[in-house]
Amino acid sequence: MKLKLIGAVIVAALGGLLFGFDTAVISGTTDWLKKEFGLDDFWLGFTVASALIGTIIGSIIVGKPSDKFGRRGVLFILAVFYFVSGIGCAFAWDWWSFMIFRFLGGIAVGGASVVSPMYIAEISPAHYRGRLVAITQFNIVLGVLLAYFSNYVIGSLNLGANECRWMFGVMAAPSAVFFILLFFTPQSPRWLIARNRVEEARAVLQMCGSDTGSLEDEIRDIQASLDLRHHSMEEPFFCARYRKPILLAVAIAMFNQLSGINAVVYYTKHIFEMAGYASTDALLQSVIVGFVNLVCTMTALSVIDHFGRKKLMIIGSIGYILSLGAVAYSFYSGGGGRMLLISLIVFIASHAAGQGTVIWVFISEIFPNRVRARGQALGSFTHWFMAAAISWTFPMIAAASGWMTFAFYALCCVGQLVWVLTAMPETKGISLEKIQKELGIE
C-alpha cells in the first residue's frame, strides 16, 4: 500500500474524527443545557437533535457541490464549518445562538458523512477499499472516545460555570489542523475523469495505485462506468435504473439508527444516571463505552476485507439483539449497575463489529461513479433523519419506560438480521465498476 494513499486517506478521515467528536461531545452537557437554558425533556431532546437537523440538510446539499467543485474542495468548506461551530458553541450568548452554531456543526457532520467515505472509496484500490473507507468509521469512534475523555477531563477540573463551554470549544483545534492538511491531498481520480481531466487523474492513480495494475485499463474502466456519451452527471437519480442501490442504501441507513446507537452515544451519561450512577462516575462509564467502541472498530477494520461486509453485519445483528434485550431487562428488573454497563459494552462492540464499520463502506460502494455523490447523500440523509428522530424522542420515551425503549430497538435489529440474510449483497474485493455491473446497472 502506497504511503501517499495512506496519507490522503488519513487526512480525509479526519472529517470523520470531527464528525464523531461533534456528535458525542453534547453527551456530557445535557444537565448543563437544561439548567443554562431552562429546558424540559422535550426541548432538551430538540436541542440535542438540532445538530442532527443540520446533518440532514448537510447530507442533502453536499452532493451537487461535490460533483461541481470536487470532493476535496467541499472538505475545505466543512473544516471551516467545524471550526466556527466549536468556537460559536463555546461563546454562545443565549439558546438561539447556541442552536445556530450547533446547527452549523451539524451541516459539517452531514457533509463529512457523505464526502469523506466517498472520497476514500474513489482513491482506493478494491483490495484495500474496505479497510481504508472503514478508517472513516475508526476516526468517528475515535472522535467519540476523545469527546467522552475530553468531557471527563474537563469535568474533573472544576471549571465552574464555563466547564461545558470548554467541552464544545476544544473542537476548534483539530478543525484547524484538518483544514491545513487538506492542502496536501489530491483530488479524486474518478471525479477528475468525469471532468475530462484525464492527465491529472492518471497522476493520482499512479500515486495511489489501481485495481488492474494498468493505469490505462483503469482509466478505460472508469470512463466506461461513467459512459458520459449516453449518461450525464446531471441525469435523474430517482429512476428505475438505480432502484436497487437506492433501496439498499436506505435500508442499511435506517437500520443503523433503529438500533438506538445514537440515543446511546448522545445520552450515555444520562442513561447511566438513570441507572443510579453519580455524574462523574457516569462520565467515566462513558469513556469505558467509547474505548470498547474504538477497540472493536479497529478489530473489524482489520478483517472487513477478509470476512466481508455481510458476515460482519450478521455478527453485529445477533450481538445487537442479545445486548439490547439485556439492557431492556436491566431496566425492567431494576438491576442497573454492572449488568447495564456490560450490556451496553456488548451493544457498542456489536455496533462497532457490524453496522458501525460496514455502513459507510457499503454505501460508498454500491452506486455508479456518475451518481455516487447523490447516492452517498441519500444514504447519509436517511441515516441522519432517523438519528434526529431517535435522539429527539429518546428523553421523552425513556422517561416513560426505559425498558420498552430498548426492547423496541432490539425488535428493529431482528428486522435488520432478516434483511442482511435475504437482501444484502457482498461487495468484498470487487472494483467499483464491477459492482455496478453486478447490480445490473448499465
What CATH number should be reported for the domain holding residue 147?
1.20.1250.20
Give the model's pLDDT for residue 268.
64
- Looking at residue 368, its amino acid is P
Q: Is 160 left (phi over 0), alpha (psi -120 to 50) or beta?
A: left
pLDDT tops 50 at residue 358: yes
What is the rounded average pLDDT of the residues 100-126? 86
Q: Most distant CA pair in the chain: distance in Å? A: 65
Q: Give the cell for residue 27.
A: 453527551
Question: Is there a contact between 407 and 324 (Cβ–Cβ < 8 Å)?
Answer: yes
Average of per-residue pLDDT across 278-292: 70
Does the pLDDT at position 139 exceed 80? yes
pLDDT at 205: 81
Q: Are 94 and 36 in contact (CB under 8 A)?
A: no
Which of 395, 174, 164, 147 is CA-nearest to residue 290?
147
Question: Would the pLDDT of 1 be above 60?
Answer: no
Q: For residue 276, what pLDDT is reported?
A: 62
Average of per-residue pLDDT across 311-337: 87
Question: Residue 326 pLDDT more than 60?
Answer: yes
Which has more pLDDT, 172 or 137?
A: 172
SS (H, E, C) the chain: CCHHHHHHHHHHHHHHHHHHHHHHHHHHCHHHHHHHHCCCHHHHHHHHHHHHHHHHHHHHHCHHHHHHHCHHHHHHHHHHHHHHHHHHHHCCCCHHHHHHHHHHHHHHHHHHHHHHHHHHHHHCCHHHHHHHHHHHHHHHHHHHHHHHHHHHHHHHCCCHHHHHHHHHHCCHHHHHHHHHHHHHCCCCHHHHHHCCCHHHHHHHHHHHCCCCCCHHHHHHHHHHHHCCCCCCCCCCCCCHHHHHHHHHHHHHHHHHHHCCHHHHHHCHHHHHHHCCCCHHHHHHHHHHHHHHHHHHHHHHHHHHHHHCHHHHHHHHHHHHHHHHHHHHHHHHHCCCHHHHHHHHHHHHHHHHHCHHHHHHHHHHHCCCHHHHHHHHHHHHHHHHHHHHHHHHHHHHHHHHCHHHHHHHHHHHHHHHHHHHHHCCCCCCCCCHHHHHHHCCCC
**245 or 370: whose pLDDT is higher?**
245
What is the model's pLDDT at position 324? 92
- Could you report the per-residue pLDDT of 210-263, keeping only the tens digit for each? 766 677 777 877 777 666 544 555 677 888 888 999 999 999 999 999 998 877
Q: Name which of 268, 216, 307 is nearest 394 in CA terms.
A: 268
- Answer whether residue 75 shows pLDDT above 80: yes
279 against 85, higher pLDDT: 85
| More confident of the two residues 32 and 11 | 11
Confidence (pLDDT) at 159: 75
Task: Look at the chain and report how many structural domains it folds into.
Answer: 1
The residue with greater pLDDT, 332 or 359, is 359
Task: Return mean pLDDT, the chain.
Answer: 83
Query: Cα(102)–Cα(108) distance, rounded to whole angstroms?
Result: 10
Residue 295, amino acid: V
Higher-pLDDT residue of 134 and 111 is 111
Mean pLDDT of 372-385: 86
Contact 305, 127 (CB under 8 A): yes
Q: Could you read off the pLDDT of 388-422 as tens digits, one per residue?
A: 788 777 777 777 766 788 899 999 999 999 999 99
Residue type, 419: W
pLDDT for the residue numbered 414: 96
Give the residue among 382, 356, 326, 376 at the shortest CA–CA distance from 144.
Answer: 356
- CA dist 244 to 59, 230, 374, 434, 438, Å? 20, 20, 14, 15, 11
When pLDDT is averaged across residues 31-40 and rounded to a whole number, the result is: 81
pLDDT of residue 318: 96
What is the percent of the chain where pLDDT is above 90? 20
Domain assignment of residue 72, given as a range: 3-438
**How many angstroms separate the Cα of 378 from the Cα of each of 185, 292, 382?**
26, 30, 6
Mean pLDDT of 84-95: 89
pLDDT at 8: 87
pLDDT band at 69 (very low <50, low <70, confident <90, very high): confident
Mean pLDDT for 151-163 is 78
Residue type, 60: I
- Cβ-contact 397, 278 below 8 angstroms: no
Per-residue burial over 384-420, b = 16 or more CB atoms within 10 Å of its CB, e = otherwise: bbbbbebbbebbebbeeebbebbbbbbebbeebbebb
The pLDDT, as a whole number, for residue 230 is: 44
Average pLDDT over residues 123-149: 80
Does residue 82 register a pLDDT over 70?
Answer: yes
Mean pLDDT for the stretch of residues 101-110: 89
Confidence of residue 3 (pLDDT cuts 50, 70, 90): confident
